[in-house]
Amino acid sequence: MEGQNRLVLDGQDLEIKEVIEVAFRRKRVEPSSSLLNKLDEGFEKLKNKVSSGEKVYGLTTGFGSLAEKSVSSEDASCLQKSLLLSHAQGIGEPLPREVVRSMLLLRAQTLARNFSGVRGVLITYLMTFLNNDYHPVVPSQGSLGASGDLIPLAHLALPLIGRGKVEHNNQIIDGKKALQELNLLPYSLELREGLALINGTQAMLSLLINTLHHSYKLLNLYNLASSMSMEALCSSTSFLNDYVYKVRPHLGIGRAIAGIKNHLEGSQLVNPNPPHRVQEAYSLRCVPQVHGTTDTALSFAENIAKVELNSVTDNPLITPENLIVSQGNFHGAPLAWILDSLAIALIPLGNMSERRVYKLLSGSYEKSLPSYLSLKPGLQSGLMILQYQSASLVNYNKILAHPASVDTIPTAQGQEDHVSMGMNAGLKLIKIIDNLYYLLVIELITASRALRLQGLNQAGKGAKWFEENYGNQIFHSFEDQSLAEEMEYLKKELLERDFP
């Protein structure tokens, strides 16, 4: 349930846009009192069941291949704490802050479904960290995406018990200090609460939602960049004819055509039937089909994410009838395969962009543009090296396109004999996204300079919007100079800003 300035967590379905509001815009989240009472009631039922002497995985047994090893009720709390400490073995760069914020919310959401046997106060702790911008430091590497994201989720949970590291106000502090500043005591884990905190797909899902947020923005911006390149190359626009979509009515194609036509509105540089060319190269003519296919893939991935967002990925499940069901909802296959698929669907945006940059700099495709957009070719190199950069990034993305999810390496003495490798798929994907922002920046800078040569006053609505917002931030004296700082500035702006 969403209020004006807060999101109320009540065990009901969440929307992806709500997760984005929390992750990127710091919307507050508060659990409802009815949810906390319901969780406490479920916890008491489970406690009574365990006290009857029934053997329960993860409560009175070890984990993984150690499930046959019994653990006494006296050692139950120690078992849960040991689980977090033993599994927090992540390495590598920390996950981005927005991803960690998503993880905190998503972990609380799956626990709020009341199939995990935890107390309401556990969700209160998670939300206290989230609402006060205390973000656990979660190393990015080490998860198999098999029994969920055990390693990253263990790091997410450590500060609750006064361990691990936390980022707050761009400073790294230890978990004990974070608890003191939040006026919290170290959380005392009971029954299966340690297992409930780490057994799920919330790291992979957070990477997917992060990717969706950026991908829709990138798609709109690539429509803008391609339209600016079309104008700079005085392109034909016959491929934007309404019949193109009518005879092949994929929704994504229709949306791409509409978006590009909107950016070209008012342009005097493009022409449905230019006298100098009958047909354009594919990197211009086929933009609606390629961008439209990416659009379709994003819609499919979003549907997967919506289901996962409101699913329970814990094991075992504690049903309303107090049955304990051992199952495999923690397996990352649904996310791993879609993360790999999105890599394949997104990379062509950059591939086509590089080809358009090549044409803008070639001096031959549109003869009114000088080689490398230099006024003194030979003496000056102009933007020659931007295409080099673009080619390098395209190659890097192609390497990253290799699917992680086709591999599996058995673990836990063969008990976990098929793993998803979904976390690796997600980590590759966020690097692809980063590269796509750089590729976008390269095309925007190149097309912007070309349009200055063609006549900005003749450009359409999209190009003029870009120039009004960013043109003064780009070096356009046509003298050779490094554009590295301008590129980083523009990338940062595009990353952080919201676009209509």
Residues tagged active-site: 57
Q: How many CB atoms lie within 10 A of CB 149?
A: 35
Instruction: Give the C-alpha distances (Å, rounded to integers) separating 145 from 3, 10, 204, 205, 465.
Output: 34, 27, 7, 10, 43
Q: How many CB atoms lie within 10 A of CB 282?
A: 12
Q: Quote the CA–CA distance of 285 and 226 in Å, as a whole number.
A: 10
Amino acid at 38: K
| Positive or negative torsion for Cα 24, 494, 425, 301 | positive
Rg (CA), the chain: 26
Residue 3: burial class (beta carbons within 10 Å; 0-12, 13-18, 19+): exposed
Q: Quote the CA–CA distance of 465 and 234 in Å, as a whole number.
A: 19
Burial 156-194 (b: 16+ CB within 10 A, else e): bbbbbbbbbbbbbeeeebbbeebbeebebeebebbbbbb
DSSP strand pairing (28-31 vs 6-9) = parallel
Residues 6+ apart with CB under 8 A from 7: 1, 14, 18, 21, 22, 27, 28, 29, 30
User: What 3-state class would DSSP assign to 208?
Assistant: helix
For every residue of 237-255, DSSP letters joined together read -GGG-HHHHHTS--HHHHH
Amino acid at 480: D
Cα distance between the two ends of the chain: 25
User: What 3-state class would DSSP assign to 171?
Assistant: strand
